Amino acid sequence: MNLKNIFPALVLTAAVTAACDERHPDYFDEIDAVYFNNRGTGNVLTDTTDVTFVYEPLEETRMEVPVSVQLLGRAADFDRSVDISVSSDNAAEGTDYILPEKAVMPAGEYSFTYTVTLLRTEGLKSAEKDITLELHANEYFSLALTDMVQTADTASVIRHCIVFSDMFTSAPAAWEENVLGEFSQAKFNLICKVLEIDPDDFNDAAVMTLPRQMFILEEIRNYIEKESEKMDSGDYDKDIIDPDTGNPIEF
């Protein structure tokens, strides 16, 4: 008897039998759980969202951060509330962020988005803030999953941290130091405000060309010179002052 031929046949028979069986595993019907399912580059699950206002237009004072809540189990034919708490050591609700009125897994759905609205405050220009969202079990859902092991690390699926600021960690991609000098946030903010430039333009070299940056240099130098002449009267643009030196910004 050729065992090599028998084994594949047994596997195929089992597969066909399973495919024809429409019954669902009992254990799956008994699960009603939720977890955070937020994925970044390469579809890798992450438990932290890091954002900054610096590339948003200066008039934009809010930023929405979506946090995905996933169902583990079967959808129900009625809405079910989800227990999410939010805490922070340095941010206050209403001042630094706004939460949705409720967290609900809608009837017939397997996921929903819990959107946190961040508020752009002056303090974000000098320090980052963070808030932590945490899932809790309630009468509708358990926490069957707490962590997910991945190739590089282990991510929490019941806690999600949002870190936010209005600061740079590095110069934007298209900033040309040979023209505009060493990058600083004070320079960047002044340029965008005075010349009404979309901050995100500085991330695109095709938009922020060398000739354009030379034009920017000439215009901003003229502006600083004119505003500096008003300093004795006190009626001048305070944003021309370098916070590190206390003197007008130099380009």
pLDDT tens, position by position, 187-214: 999 999 999 999 999 999 999 999 999 9
What is the reported pLDDT for 122? 93
| Number of separate helices (H) and strands (E) present in the chain | 5, 12
Name the more confident of 13 and 23. Answer: 23
The Cβ-side half-sphere exposure at 84, using a 13 Å CA radius, reads: 31
The alpha carbons of the chain give a radius of gyration, in whole angstroms, of 27
Please tell me which residue, 235 or 31, carries the higher pLDDT value.
235
pLDDT band at 14 (very low <50, low <70, confident <90, very high): very low
Q: Tell me the domain boundaries of the chain.
A: 25-165, 177-240
- Domain 25-165: which CATH class? mainly beta
Q: With contact defined as beta carbons under 8 Å apart, do 78 and 32 qualify? A: no
Residue 245 has pLDDT above 90, yes or no: yes
Alpha carbon dihedral 177, 180, 184, 187, in 10-degree steps, equals -170
How many Cβ atoms sit within 10 Å of the Cβ of residue 213?
A: 18
Report yes or no: 86 and 93 within 8 Å, Cβ to Cβ: yes
**Has this prediction a pTM greater than 0.85?**
no
Cα three-residue angle 25-30-33, rounded to 5 degrees: 115
Residues 58-101: pLDDT tens digits? 889 999 999 999 999 999 999 999 999 999 999 999 999 999 99
CA distance 53 to 188: 13
The 10s digit of each residue's pLDDT in 141-175 is 999 999 988 877 899 999 999 999 999 878 999 99
Mean pLDDT of the chain, nearest integer:
88
